[in-house]
Structure 1
Amino acid sequence: MRWLPLLLLFLLAYIEITLFIKVAAFIGVAMTLLLVVFTSCVGVSLVKNQGMKTFMQLQQKLAAGESPAAEMVKSVSLVMAGFLLLIPGFFTDFLGLLLLLPPVQKSLTLKLMPHLNIVRSGGNWGKSQPTGNTFDGEFKRTDEHTERLVSPEKDDDIDSRGR
């Protein structure tokens, strides 16, 4: 079981190299390299656009007092898609583009939501009810004298002997 990640890494490398060879034999090496760079650029721009859209939806959910858990799962899938699209290769680009599709994101959200423990700390998702009284007003100082109103001679703390 501890060899599974290493096995998956070698399997991924084998799939990517095989696809590179097949595509290069079909369209040429230079076009294959250009296609890899092009798919990475397109993928990154798609992730950027969808990421901003998801961020706006997350802010709207928070402002409406709803749980943003679905948008958070969607943002995780966008991060994973962006990572896969940056790795050069056709198979990882395919997996990254799959993660950008809304039906795939929705099914991923439905599968992951029951396993998530959402703990709220700090702020409210709902509208908070104010407690206590709040008074709104303005303040302006109107006394013209800057001297103390109580002279030190008449102060109760000091007796006549200065003690």
Structure 2
Amino acid sequence: MTTGASTPFHPARPRRSRLRTALPLGVAAWLVLEIWLLTVVAGAAGGVTVFLLLVAGLVLGSVVIKRAGRRAFQNLNEALQRGTPPSRGGGNGLMMLGGLLLILPGLISDALGLLLLLPPVQKAVGRSAERVVDRKLREAGPGSLGDVFQQARMRRPDGKVVQGEVIRDDERGSDAGDAGAGPRPPLTR
């Protein structure tokens, strides 16, 4: 005997990517390793030494990020004054990442941050990251980042795409007598 009530249909959930599965485990393992290494160094050299290492990493990382940000802003200003598009990268992003890794408390992150400050390492990491991004953008199919501008459309509830422009009433003026007044100023308190 059936009562007419049916269970709702739930499609199978998509599988989690390997990255989403492994990333939390990797971060947890990295944190445990950092804490273990800090305790080993504190046991060998003392707690004051570990504290001074962490403060030195914080100060050096702040200086590196400030310098890389200043250089990136200067490059942008020069490009705008020349009227040309800004150059890609220039190593500032990787220098900022190296500074951020230096700021994070831990000796492994400090070592990785110092490695990213070396120009040969920056060039190698920059080239490989550029290749990966280019490959991913080429592989991107419809409905992904490669199709982002095609997705920026208004869709009606029935699924039809509506393309057009929005004309606001206050830009056209209304028939109530303020046709020549133009747009209204913003409200302020």
Q: TM-score, normalised by structure 1?
A: 0.59
* Partner residue, 1:32: 50
Give the deviation of 1:80 after TM superposition. 2.1
Distance in 2 between the 1:5 and 1:36 partners? 25
Query: Which of 94, 98, 105 is 2:122 aligned to?
Result: 105
Unaligned runs of 5+ in 1: 118-163
Q: Give the deviation of 1:70 after TM superposition.
A: 2.7
Residues 1:23 and 2:21 aligned together: no
Aligned to 2:101: 84
Deviation, structure 1 residue 50: 3.1
Aligned-residue offset at 1:20: 0.4
Q: 2:42 touches 2:49 (CA, 8 Å); kept in 1?
A: yes
Match among 107, 111, 115 for residue 94 of structure 1: 111
CA distance in 2, matches of 1:48, 1:82: 9
CA distance in 2, matches of 1:113, 1:87: 25
Residue pairs, 1:32-71, within 5 angstroms: 32-61=50-79, 63=81, 65=84, 68-71=87-90
Cα shift at 1:75 = 2.9
CA apart distance, 1:86: 2.0
Q: What are the Cα deviations for residues 101-159 of structure 1, in whole angstroms up to 9, with x where unaligned?
A: 22222112222334347xxxxxxxxxxxxxxxxxxxxxxxxxxxxxxxxxxxxxxxxxx
Q: Where does residue 144 of structure 1 map in the other structure?
A: none
Runs of 4+ off more than 3 Å: 57-64
Return the offset for 1:43.
2.0
- How many Å apart are 1:62 and its aligned residue? 5.3
Under a length normalisation based on structure 2, what TM-score does the superposition of the two structures give? 0.52
Q: Percent of aligned positions with the same letter in both sequences? A: 30
Q: Structure 1 residue 66: deviation in Å?
A: 5.5
- State the match for 1:5 in structure 2: 23
CA shift for structure 1 position 51? 2.9
| Deviation of 1:58 (Å) | 4.3
C-alpha distance in 1 between matches for 2:52 and 2:115:
21
User: Compared with structure 1, are the counterparts of its residues 63 and 112 closer, same or farther at alpha carbon in structure 2 (3 Å cutoff)?
Assistant: farther
Coordinate RMSD, CA, aligned? 2.3
For structure 2, the 5+ residue unaligned runs are 1-17, 138-189
State the Cα distance separating 1:38 from its structure 2 match.
1.6
Give, in whole Å, the separation in 1 of the partners of 2:32 and 2:40.
12
| Contact kept in structure 2, 1:24 and 1:32, CA below 8 Å | yes
**More deviation in 36-45 or 61-70?**
61-70
